[in-house]
Amino acid sequence: MKIAVYGPLYNERSKSTIQTLIAYLTKRDAKVVFEKNFHTSISADSDIDIEAYSFDTFEVLEASFNLLISIGGDGTILRAITFVKNLNIPIVGINTGRLGFLATIPMNTIHKAMDEIFEGNYRISKRSLLTIGTDSNAAALDLDFALNEIAVSRKNTTSMISVETWLDDDYLTSYWADGLIISTPTGSTGYSLSCGGPVILPESDSLVLTPIAPHNLNARPLVISSDKIIKLKVSGRENQHLVSLDSRINTLENNTTITIQKAPFYIHMIELEADGFVETLRKKLLWGADPRN
């Protein structure tokens, strides 16, 4: 099995996880390739002799990989997908972060979880993405897709912005707000949820528009079909606004027409048999837990 391993820069919290994973994959005789910067970061720590294993490194991925292991939190997985793109390489996350809706494997269950994966006891959860385009040549984006959400928001001001919004060329409304989030089902448990948006099951063929601190109080999150093409145009007191793709931030000129739609490819997330989305909701959001106990 050919496995890519990605993580943020090495830190003490991830140390034991990395040691355990290296030992496990070595025992399994897997061909392991570390992301270049992550490999350099680990190599700089004297307690982990990663050089002794002669692992290869990657800066870009190829379709020949069987698996990508992300070590970190959900944000790490969001960065990992920028390597996977449309290659259909399954991703699994070992959670050294906090909540972990995407990175679901706890640090203390690595052996058990990896045994399940090597034995094929898992399912693939196909996660839809969003793509973005603009009508301005000056607004070219290095990466034009997002797994969680695409959001427009105000820049360098406390004043709200106006976000004119169309669905399939039909005018919907103008949101007077700090911004607007367009979220996938995967992203519905992230930024959108914190702004009052609904939780949507990953397999749902839908998107949600969630205003950020709207001034027009009758503006509420709206669930739409994922085949809708969303067009936005932002205006406000400043000449520019921000657009973020899974927290990758870009600056656009006001009155730029932004087009957002479902991407033509999916990200494949590995789910273990005992770790489905509903189970994750119960664990992470404490649904069903009685606070009196």
Alpha helices in 108-170 (DSSP H): 110-118
Both tokens assigned to 277: 């989305």
Q: Please state, in angstroms and rounded to a whole number, the distance separating the CA atoms of residues 94 and 104.
A: 6
74 catalytic? Reply is: yes
- Specify the DSSP class assigned to residue 276: -
Integer angstrom CA distances of residue 27 from 21, 23, 71, 199: 10, 6, 19, 40
pLDDT category, 254, cuts 50, 70, 90? very high
Confirm whether pTM is higher than 0.75.
Answer: yes
Short-list 4, 119, 128, CA closest to 66: 4
Q: What is the DSSP string of 89-105?
A: --EEEEE-SSS-SS--E
Residue 106: pLDDT over 90:
no
Helix, strand, or coil (residue 142): coil
**pLDDT tens by residue, 173-218:** 999 999 999 999 999 999 999 999 999 999 999 999 999 999 988 9
- Of the listed 29, 45, 56, 74, which one is catalytic? 74
Which residue segments constitute the domains of the chain, with CATH numbers given? 2-120 (3.40.50.10330), 129-264 (2.60.200.30)
